[in-house]
Structure formats: C-alpha cells, structure tokens
C-alpha cells in the first residue's frame, strides 16, 4: 500500500466528478490513491470509470442488508481493511449511516452545485438546484465543497467558487457551466486535505486550498 492518502469515492451516477479527480491524479496534481469506488447502482458509469483505471469497486446499498447495523458494519470493515482516510462523495444519492459519519468526522467531503447555505438541503440535487437558483432570480451561483455532518449540506465549507447566472440560462445551461467549475476545483479540496494544508478552527476550515 502506498503511503499516499487512501481515498474511497462514493458515486451513484455518471461520475464525471470522479473522472475529473482521476484525471488530476494522472496529471500529477493530486497525490492520493483511489482505493475504492463504492456505488449503489452497478450499471452506473462510475463503475466503468473505476474499472478503466484499475480502481477496486464495491456495489453496495442499504437494501442488500438485513438492517442498517449490518450495512454499517460492512462499510466500516471495508474502510478499515483498505486504510481509508478520506471519503469523497461524488454524486452519491444514498444516505450514509450516522455511525460512518461519526467515525469519519471531518473526513467525508461532498460537492454541491450551488453556493451553500442557499439552494441546499434534503431533496436539493441535480437540476432542481439550478432551477431553484433561476426561479429565485440569483445572479451568481457556483459550487461548494464541504465536510459532511449529520445535517444535509450543512457541514463546514472547504471551498467555494462562483459561476455567473446569465439572462439566457435554463437549468441545463447553468448546470453545464457549474459542472465545469466542479471538475476544475473538486480535486483542490482533496489535495489540500491529503497534504494537510487545511485545518479546523471552530467550524471554519482555514488554510490554503
């Protein structure tokens, strides 16, 4: 096992953010090992991306297990055996057991396609986020990378970047502009975490990203 940070990525869908992280690693900008791709949908493109880059995969979802306790045990076992130091959510649509969140406190990060605390919370995902931004009439949107805690989209913010909202936008065109910004920036938070250039001060994440 390399002494790089061992990272587990959780993805439910296309995994374009996962791909962008893999690309940054291959460009030599991101110094982590992708030790596991976990997904709840084995047909998701994220699995294909993992296989293309020899990243181990695990298809697992709460409904495969008798109860949440068994599911949690399986996840923790997998993470411990792979020495996972960071969990990166990249379009992951299933709940994460409370015990995993507690055990990986400030070691789970997520990317949200808007500027939190606006346009976030349970049920705010995908196009719904961008439509809400447009319906509200906001002039700026963007991305937020944050630690995950027990409350949806409320954990400490690691980085934010903005994207303009244009008069001509619909949810698709805004989503496309924001997604590009996600791809260009998610890796920076992963790298900052892995290199220890950020730390917590109260609920603020300080340092260089």
Binding site for ligand GRF (CB under 6 A): 11, 13-17, 90-91, 111-113, 179, 182
Shortest reach from residue 50's CB to ligand GRF, in Å: 13
Is 112 part of the annotated catalytic residue set? yes
DSSP state of 53: T
Nearer to ligand GRF, 25 or 112 (CB): 112
Provide the token pair at 199.
């730390």
Distance CA 180, CA 101 (A): 28
Shortest reach from residue 66's CB to ligand GRF, in Å: 29
SS3 at position 36:
strand
Provide the token pair at 63.
């409904």
Shortest reach from residue 206's CB to ligand GRF, in Å: 23
**Does the N-terminal peptide bond of residue 148 adopt cis geometry, omega within 30 degrees of 0?**
no
Nearer to ligand GRF, 46 or 205 (CB): 46
Nearer to ligand GRF, 74 or 94 (CB): 94
- Whose tokens are 């940070």? That residue is 5
Please give the C-alpha separations between residue 185 and each of 20, 161, 178, in angstroms, as whole numbers. 9, 8, 11
Q: Which residue is nearest to ligand GRF (CB)?
A: 91
Nearer to ligand GRF, 6 or 17 (CB): 17
Q: Please choose, from the candidates 22, 2, 1, the residue with its C-alpha nearest in 3D space to the C-alpha of residue 11.
A: 22
Q: Which of 105, 112, 130, 146 is catalytic?
A: 112
Provide the token pair at 175.
């989503």
| 91 Rama sector, left if φ>0, alpha if ψ -120 to 50, beta otherwise | left
Shortest reach from residue 171's CB to ligand GRF, in Å: 12
Q: Which residues are the active-site residues?
A: 112
């Amino acid at each position: 096992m390399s002494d790089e940070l061992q990272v587990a990525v959780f993805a439910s869908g296309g995994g374009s953010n996962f791909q962008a992280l893999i690309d940054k690693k291959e460009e030599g900008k991101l110094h982590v090992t992708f030790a596991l791709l976990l997904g709840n949908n084995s047909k998701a493109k994220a699995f294909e991306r993992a296989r293309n880059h020899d990243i181990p995969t695990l298809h697992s979802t709460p409904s495969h297990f008798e109860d949440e306790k068994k599911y949690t045990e399986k996840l923790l076992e997998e993470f411990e055996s792979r020495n996972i130091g960071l969990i990166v959510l990249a379009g992951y649509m299933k709940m994460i057991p409370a015990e995993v969140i507690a055990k990986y406190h400030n070691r789970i990060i997520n990317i949200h396609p808007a500027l939190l605390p606006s346009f976030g919370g349970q049920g705010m995902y995908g196009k719904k986020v961008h439509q809400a931004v447009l319906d509200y009439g906001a002039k700026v949107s963007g991305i937020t990378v944050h630690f995950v805690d027990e409350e949806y989209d409320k954990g400490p913010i690691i980085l934010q970047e903005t994207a303009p909202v244009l008069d001509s936008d619909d949810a698709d065109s805004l989503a496309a502009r924001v997604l590009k910004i996600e791809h260009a920036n998610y890796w920076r938070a992963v790298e900052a975490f892995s290199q220890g250039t950020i730390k917590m001060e109260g609920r603020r994440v300080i340092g260089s990203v």
